[in-house]
Amino acid sequence: MTTAQSQNEQAGTFTPGGIAVVSSINEIGGVRVEAKAMDVLVALAVASPSVTSVRGLLDAGWPSEVVRRHRHALPAVLASFANLWRALRLGL
């Protein structure tokens, strides 16, 4: 990923696979998503093409919350993925 791409993702706009993502308003292809789901998507996009750990995703979406140390940490990340998949299906 180029520095310009990374800066655009952090600034709030990018188009993975041709789908418009506007993170500043939590929108994917015209479909609104939860803020935590958008945080996870931006963390994945910024890290691309590298792999991001669950811990890295938790740090992005839940930086100061108890969920990071709780047994519900993985389900929280998976719920964000479900939210993103729903938005991608609706936005296509």
Query: Quick one: pLDDT at residue 63?
Result: 82
Terminal Cα-to-Cα distance of the chain (whole angstroms) = 24
Query: Contact, 42 vs 10, CB < 8 A?
Result: yes
* β-pair partners for 32: 27
Are 69 and 56 spatial neighbours (Cβ–Cβ below 8 Å)?
no
Domains detected in the chain: 3-91 (1.10.10)
Helix, strand, or coil (residue 70): coil
pLDDT tens track for 16-50: 778 889 999 999 988 999 999 999 999 998 898 99
